[in-house]
Chains A and B, each alone.
Chain A
Amino acid sequence: MLLSSISFYSCEDVVQVDLKESEPRLVIEAPILWQKNSHGNVQLVRLTTTAPFFGDQIPPAEGANVSVFSEAGVEFKFEEIESGIFRNDQFIPELNKTYELKVEYNDEEYRAIETLLPVVSIENIEQTTSGGFGGEDIELKAYFTDPPNIQNYYLSRFFYEELSIQIYEDKFTDGNRTFAYFSNEGLTPGQEVGIEIQGISKRFYEYLFILRSQAGSSNGGPFQTQPTTVRGNIINITNPDNFAFGYFRLSETDFLDYIIQ
């Protein structure tokens, strides 16, 4: 935000760069989401591999075996319904229980363990008009009350033209009524927006924090943070150096539809 205000003299140009290519690595995107007041029985896991930077498509990782085990040892097998996309429609989510992910791919086994974290409800949506650089964009605040004396972390998603993601921690807002914030200059009255909050773990919050700084928003320049390799929580049991990118996590979610006034 700070850099944008002095970028009145700056210039962005797309340029040609020759890049080396690294060996493909497995990427496991395994978000188990349980929306309040629903069964949460349908869950999807997506497997892809890394691709050359300027390549077209992300190649799917096919032919893997994907399962999630509950604390009690019940196995939920995931079926490959489409190339690289695995589905289970009999999942039984339980709050605060631990689950284990097991993926077999290319004769190697990957595992991850996480807990299904609850989330508070969205109480209401407030709409104001003072967002953006012009101070005129419509802003939305989705209010919720943070549980006191616990370290809570949140992921919020806004479904509008394209998906927008924010992450929050309650370091400064513990126990208070606080909000998830969204603003876009394209918002106009009558449009429908979807708003969701998810309860996430501290480790996933930190993972997303780094991931977002790496994703390269429109900022760059001297305030860029250092490029790093972002490690998730998935371990390759067979060959630890051949780790997978991505994260296995389970969250309770709350979703609201909202029409701009």
Chain B
Amino acid sequence: MRDAANNETLYGVNIIFPDLNTGTITNEYGFYSMKIPAGKHQISVSYLGYQTLSQEIQIEKSESLNFNLKESSEILEEVVITENFERLNIGSPEMSVTKLDINTIKNLPVVFGEVDIVKSLLLLPGISNAGDGSSGFNVRGGAVGQNLILLDEATIYNGSHLFGLFSVFNPDAIKNLKLYKGGIPAKYGGRVSSVLDIYQKDGNSKNFHANGGIGLISSRLLVEGPIVKDKGSFLIGGRSSYAHLFLKLIDNPNSAYFYDLNTKLSYRLNDRNSLLFSGYFGRDIFNISESFKNTYGNAVFNLRWNHLLSDDIFSNLSVIYSDYYYGLTLDFVEFNWNSGIKNLNLKYDFNHLLNDKLSIDYGLQSTYYEFNPGEIEPSTATSGINYYKLTKKYALENALYLSVNHKISERFSATYGLRFSSFFRLGQDFLNIYNNDNPLLFNEDFGIYEAAAPNAQKILPKNEIEKTFINFEPRLSLAYSFNDSQSIKLSYNRMTQYLQLISNTNSPTPLDIWTPSGKYIKPQLLDQIAMGYFQNFKKESYTLEIEGFYKKVKNRLDYIDGANLIANNAIEQVILSGKSRAYGMEVLLRKNKGNLTGWLAYTLSQSEQKTEGRTALEPGINNGQWYNTGYDKTHDISLTASYQLSERWLLNSNFIFQTGLPTTFPTGHYKIENLTIPVYSDRNSNRLTNYHRLDISATYTPSRKLKSTFTSSWNFGVYNVYNRKNAVSLNFRNNEDTRMNEAVRLSLFGIIPSVTYNFKF
């Protein structure tokens, strides 16, 4: 299934045989397969943003039917095409999924006018973040480190630039994205809360095109074209911010900027084979007066081979290399710090159609990891710093999965599967061994947790296994349709997470480390059930999705009071194991047709954590009581509206209202060494003030000159129209001047206007 204009494969296209009451959708690579009785049939092929194809076909034997769909905007005339919305798939067992089209994302108003995939996802139910300026996102009360982020099947470790101000995904290079909040298919694993699966465009194999935009903070340019017409294509895109140049103009020696490079090469060898190569490279750079330099970012390279073993079996073999790097140079103390993760990943996935009621997906995956928690080296001969290396860690993560898509009856469908995952923590230099295998002691006299000193260090070669974990992860999704427009669905999944993001701040920083499970750290285990009701109204003019979910996680790490995680070579000495849970209800009401479209999203939820002491004498964290996670928001409401005022003008607005984030208020204070120390109550038992803001934007598209392929548009936006100072944190401190204690609210983004110019040719 391809786009007629540029040969891009299309994912999620609906292929329906109305008279047979059956249908399917294309996979990530545009492939579909169906078994239907021989004869004459109506076929309807529809997809968001494209003209629906309706035709009659005659099927006598096994055939390969390829379709090239035309974009709906190609019929220039007045009438707005009514097919432009993401269809709700009533009968499919797929639930708890958020699909956002790139074009919808490009029109939403955002901070600084920078189109951002992750910021747009925040407007949908069940997806949230820990406040302005925080990195990452939270799905159904889950932590940021529990999201699996995939770009063309490669894992991305840090999805944010500039501490969460922007995400690493260049919207021009993205073809489609899908976020699984629950009901996660057996194909995915390794993180417990969600899967954000993003695919880059392949590149236009018909003509050369360029796409770009100039904004206040960053600009981007993407070029794509054929290598061999209709067979091979390339795509190269770059994006860079330049706000730091203004600082240079005023002779300020500081700078903070980022850049991204996306590339893709694709080649269709023949009808049954295609080769795809993708690459992504991104960096964030901070310089403070030339003496502090900080650089970090992801690099991923991926080679894939799509192969049709037969008409019924589609396979994809991927080889992926990914590298996450973090480096720091402090000239005035004279040292360099390097840390990062490298991994090499092999995946072999199959889609296999058995008959008109059954299709199966199966495959295997294996990833080899090398963790470098940090290396510090003196940068000059006179430096007072000694060379120090934190022990490198190695691991192998594998999975085997089988998933069955079963159309049990006209009204009842199910997807059930099993993922068998395993994790081998490999040997390393210097593994600490403790008395009674206990790295964390409790000092009863002082009432505090203390690190235990190791009594030995074990050295094991990298090719030997230190610890093995094996888990079975069943997945189940059921759907029952009352009729064509109403259904209820139920899902259950168990997920395992072998890599933990070690972070004890409210929002992760790039200094946070991913650490593999092993002798002292068990993998996180999650069980989630979800139930939902789905309905289309008035011929899909409106859709309603209501879902309830409950999830619990075992082996959720928590940190002892005052744990210092930076450059800590023995994390096991500062962690405690606990559990977390989240539950809630999500409502999404969408209006899909007409000049006014949009949605109302409401999430009511609770997200909390509990870490008990290991014995009756130990307090654990917060006295072993449940406490709110740092990103718990009881109410989260987003109202998004889009109005096509005329052919040239499109207006958009968002209104967001959220319960204030949890925080801890002091109940007293004292002074030591001239410092004012607050005395705190129960962790996260208080709240910041409620968060709300309104954003608006307008997109102006000038008329296109006939015979010219050049199109452009202007986007004018205002973020936080009524300039509400939403609290990011409340800091209790002593005022240096008045010497009185005060509560200080920190807020980040006030009213911010923006202008962006986008072009395409």
Contact = CB atoms under 8 A, between A and B. Distances in A.
B665 interface: yes
A53 B741 contact: yes
B376 interface: yes
Nearest to B511: A2
Contacts of A1: 288, 292
Given A174-B386, A222-B729, A213 B562 contact: yes
Contacts of B749: 9
A29 to B, nearest CB: 6
Contacts of A229: 561, 679-680
B200 interface: no
Contact of A15 (B288, B447, B567, B743): B743
A29 B133 contact: no
Contact of B385 (A48, A165, A176): A176
A224 interface: yes
Nearest to B680: A227
A-side interface size class: 35 or more
B666 A172 contact: no
Given A21-B668, A22-B679, A50-B669, A11 B561 contact: no
A213 B731 CA distance: 12
A17 B660 CA distance: 14
Interface string A9-29: 111111111011110110101
A208 interface: yes
A51 B292 CA distance: 40
B733 A216 contact: yes
Interface in B277-302: 286, 288-292, 294
A178 B335 CA distance: 13
B562 A51 contact: no
Interface in A200-223: 206, 208-223
Interface string A218-237: 11111111111111110100
Contacts of A216: 676, 678, 731-734
Interface stretch (A65-73, A117-125, A130-138): A130-138
B668 A52 contact: yes
Given A9-B748, A165-B674, A135 B669 contact: no
A218 B733 CA distance: 8
B635 interface: no
B2 interface: no
A154 interface: no
A225 B505 contact: yes
A11 B134 contact: no
A116 B694 CA distance: 60
Contacts of A163: 674
A245 interface: yes
A165 B564 CA distance: 19
A224 B729 contact: yes
Given A49-B670, A177-B384, A226-B504, A231 B447 contact: yes
Nearest to B735: A14
B546 to A, nearest CB: 32
A130 B332 contact: yes
A132 B289 contact: yes
A78 B24 CA distance: 86
A243 interface: yes
B673 A176 contact: no
A209 B675 CA distance: 12
B730 A220 contact: yes
Interface in B660-687: 664-681, 683
Interface string A223-261: 111111111110100001001011100000000000000
Contact of A228 (B254, B294, B561, B741): B561
Interface in B639-668: 664-668
Contacts of A226: 504, 559, 561, 664, 683
A117 B180 CA distance: 58
Contacts of A134: 252-253, 289
B682 to A, nearest CB: 10
A250 to B, nearest CB: 15
Contacts of B675: 165, 211-212, 215
B746 A11 contact: yes
Given A15-B744, A132-B289, A48 B665 contact: no
A217 B252 CA distance: 24
A17 B290 CA distance: 40
B107 interface: no
A219 B496 CA distance: 36
B488 interface: no
B386 A172 contact: yes
A222 B731 CA distance: 11
A142 B666 CA distance: 37
Contacts of B385: 172-173, 176
Given A130-B289, A224-B505, A217 B733 contact: yes
A11 B672 contact: no
A211 B743 contact: no
A232 B506 CA distance: 25
Among A11, A27, A206, A224, find the residue whose CB has the most chain B CB atoms closer than 10 A: A224
Among B446, B745, B752, find the residue whose CB has the most chain A CB atoms closer than 10 A: B446
Among B679, B743, B750, find the residue whose CB has the most chain A CB atoms closer than 10 A: B679
B130 interface: yes
Contact of A222 (B135, B291, B292, B447): B135
B673 A29 contact: yes
B210 interface: no
B165 interface: yes
B677 A230 contact: yes
Contacts of B743: 14-17
Interface string B366-388: 00000000001000000011101
B671 to A, nearest CB: 5
Interface in B398-447: 445-447
10 contacts: A6-B165, A13-B745, A50-B679, A51-B668, A172-B385, A212-B675, A224-B506, A226-B664, A245-B679, A246-B670
> Which 4 A-B pairs have CB atoms at the shortest separation, nearest pair first?
A222-B507, A210-B562, A228-B561, A178-B384
Interface of A: 1-3, 5-6, 9-17, 19-22, 24-25, 27, 29, 31, 48-56, 58, 130-135, 139, 162-163, 165, 171-179, 181, 206, 208-233, 235, 240, 243, 245-247
